[in-house]
Amino acid sequence: MKELLLKLTNGQKLTKGEMSLVAQSLFEERTSDSEIASVLTALRVRGESAEEIAAIVEVLRENAMTVHPQAFNVMDNCGTGGDGSSSFNISTTSAFVLAGAGAKIAKHGNRSVSSKTGSADVLEELGIALDFTGDEVEELLETNGIAFLFAPYVHPRLKRIMKVRTDLGVPTIFNFIGPLTNPVELQTQFLGVYRRDMLMKMAAVLNQLGRSRSIVVNGAGHMDEASLAGENHLVLLDQGELIPFTLKPEEVGLSTYPNEAIRGGDAKENADILLKVLNGEPGAYLDTVLLNAGLGLYSCGIASNIKDGVERARESIASGRALEKLNYLKEYSKLRKEAMSS
């Protein structure tokens, strides 16, 4: 560990095998908090390679809860966080819209780290359980088309590493790898990153992790979601090919809004925004979800193009199917809680 840590602090890149050894050592009791912090800081200062990111993700998934869903073409939609936009929970809201349009969504998320309200915070406010077992996740994907996987529950051995990450208080490699460590074997992914210079690298990581088709986005204003504020920069991963492109909201029939128009708040405020969107209240919140869900539907192949994806997302909301997915998850959580307390 000390030899590899020295390489890192000297600015040298590690091979995938070396990074795997470092990642495994992060779980060992003999590794100190200061050594964990040094690894995270050194990677942040020098910049993580695609091989290093893929290596640590694979080790983390090996140490995660086991989930083997029967559903094919399961996807996740998640941003890395760290953009400082204080937006509402865009990807969480979009997840229900994606599921309502026919996608199978294994939504992997956490409480807030660099933002005010994380996906787990808003879902908990809505009455959704955060401790679904692997079997329950499999059941929910089969019956409801969407399940939530709470990162600390899914990755119980990460507790000490997460404490160090929180103490550091700055974005680290875990901002990038968090959305990649979903224990479900994903075929596709819609991933947002707050750093535009990481677009191609993260698409390359998704390719190394075996995704057949995915989209990585850095939004206007450097958001980790697609934004209505202007030009979005994206990379499509399609069967190993990385295809960069840009997208403006007007190209898919949506209005332009400044990023300030989609500010969120605490868990209760963001839960209220989520419900307003799923009930079809027009405005910047709704259109932002339509854009992101539309991209997600194109990413997983349900939509033939992004505009088609936006229209399918609109229908998912207008028909009530997106809201039904949320209500199913709430009722499932309620009945589960009653059964456990009886």
44 is annotated as contributing to ligand binding: no
Pull the structure tokens for residue 69. 């869903």
46 is annotated as contributing to ligand binding: no
Q: Which of 243, 186, 192, 241 is nearest to 218 (CA)?
A: 192
89 is annotated as contributing to ligand binding: yes
49 is annotated as contributing to ligand binding: no
111 is annotated as contributing to ligand binding: yes
Pull the structure tokens for residue 51. 């091989």
113 is annotated as contributing to ligand binding: yes
155 is annotated as contributing to ligand binding: no
- Asked if 90 and 79 count as a contact pair (C-beta separation under 8 A), the reply is yes
38 is annotated as contributing to ligand binding: no
337 is annotated as contributing to ligand binding: no
| CA dist., res. 257 & res. 70, Å (int) | 40
Pull the structure tokens for residue 167. 């103490």
25 is annotated as contributing to ligand binding: no
| CA dist., res. 100 & res. 83, Å (int) | 28
For 28-81, give the DSSP string: STTS-HHHHHHHHHHHHHH---HHHHHHHHHHHHHTSPP---S-SSEEEEEE--
304 is annotated as contributing to ligand binding: no
108 is annotated as contributing to ligand binding: yes
Pull the structure tokens for residue 218. 């850095």
316 is annotated as contributing to ligand binding: no
Q: Where are the alpha helices (DSSP H) in the chain?
A: 2-9, 16-25, 33-46, 50-62, 90-100, 119-125, 134-143, 151-154, 159-168, 173-177, 199-208, 267-278, 284-299, 306-318, 321-341
225 is annotated as contributing to ligand binding: yes
73 is annotated as contributing to ligand binding: no
Binding-site annotation, residues for anthranilate: 79, 110, 165
Binding-site annotation, residues: 79, 82-83, 87, 89-92, 107-115, 119, 165, 224-225
Binding-site annotation, residues for 5-phospho-alpha-D-ribose 1-diphosphate: 79, 82-83, 87, 89-92, 107-115, 119
Binding-site annotation, residues for Mg(2+): 91, 224-225
